[in-house]
Amino acid sequence: MPTAVSLFTGCGGSDAGLIAAGFDVLMANDVIPYARDTYLANHPETDYRLGDVQKIETFPQADLLVGCYPCQGFSQGGARQADRRINYLYLDFVRALRQIQPRAFIVENVSGMRSSTYKHLLNDQIEQFRASGEHGYNVKWSLLSADEYGVPQERKRILIVGIRSDIGLEYEFPSPTHGPRGTQPFRTIENALAGLPEWPLGEFCEDPFHWYYLSRNRRRDWHETSKTIVSHMRHMPLHPISPSLRRIHTDSWVFETAERARRFSYREAARLQGFSDNFVFPDTPNSSLAMRYRVVGNAVPPPLFQAVAGNLPNIWD
């Protein structure tokens, strides 16, 4: 079984995909205590190192290195400041890449890195990856849409994949499996939430719908894919049980009826991210409702990462 080291791991969406693709994750890392609690409740055999990656001096040898460094500096929902330190955490990934010199690596980040403001950072990452280690890496990148790989949610992400140059192979991204470009229909909200209660008390945010929330349409119907699952519970999309929204003027929407409305619960959000039904969110001192939403929304959809990792050539022998 090929081995992997995972950085900026969160609660383990990327690693759930890796494990499903046949990898043994030796080490994982993040700074959020509840992300660690959740990860270890599901994958207790992994060495999860809680804390700043900059303080990790040595990494175990592995066949694959993966990293999903934070995206707040690039994200449409983040601060979008090009000079923020968080935008340069890829340099710690480069440090690990040079030390481990794995046969391959995978990086995931938000689509905002393609914008003119951040394109220089995307280009620098690719150049750093190509020059890392004794041999360097053949690097490819692509914008993938999670709904085309069986995730019931619209979520576009940049994936960067490299194979060590001395191996002499180049990576090819997986073809879509769902939607018009695939062989199966998109998975819908109804597909994902089948069997769950309509009003799971204590599992969804009941804060009022403030003006900013109602500045856009946050609702999709049962037969559609979900809008992007986010990490802030007050901004979570609406459950289809809610009444429809109607636009009354620029950046202002209202509910069409007075029926009760609610956001997706954190457990529903996990389903819409592609987590399996048996994925555990443990009760711990760190497990506030806001934190459960946060680790779910920050996660990489496991089916997307499984598709990308599973399309690596057999370079592990």
Q: Which residues are catalytic?
A: 71
Residue with token string 């990790």: 56
Look at strands 104-110 and 156-164 and give their pairing. antiparallel
Nearest to 69 by CA among 52, 47, 87, 51: 87
| Angstrom distance (rounded) from CA 88 to CA 86 | 5
Collapsing DSSP to helix, strand or coil, 96 comes out as helix
Contact of 293 with 265, CB cutoff 8 Å: no
Write out the DSSP string of 234-283.
GGPPBPTTSPPEEEEETTEEEESS-S---BPPHHHHHHHHT--TT-----
Q: Which residue has the tokens 């969110």?
A: 281
**Structure-block tokens of residue 126:** 């690719």
Which residue from 51, 48, 53, 60 is spatially nearest to 32, judged by alpha carbons?
Answer: 51
Q: What is the C-alpha to C-alpha distance for residues 232 and 293, in angstroms, rounded to an integer?
A: 7
Enter the tokens of residue 177. 């499996």
Rounded CA-CA distance 32/50 in Å is 7
For residue 149 the two structure tokens come to 């790989």
Beta strands 245-249; 24-30: pairing state: unpaired
Radius of gyration of the chain (CA): 20
Helices 119-130 and 90-100 pack at an angle, to 10 degrees, of 10
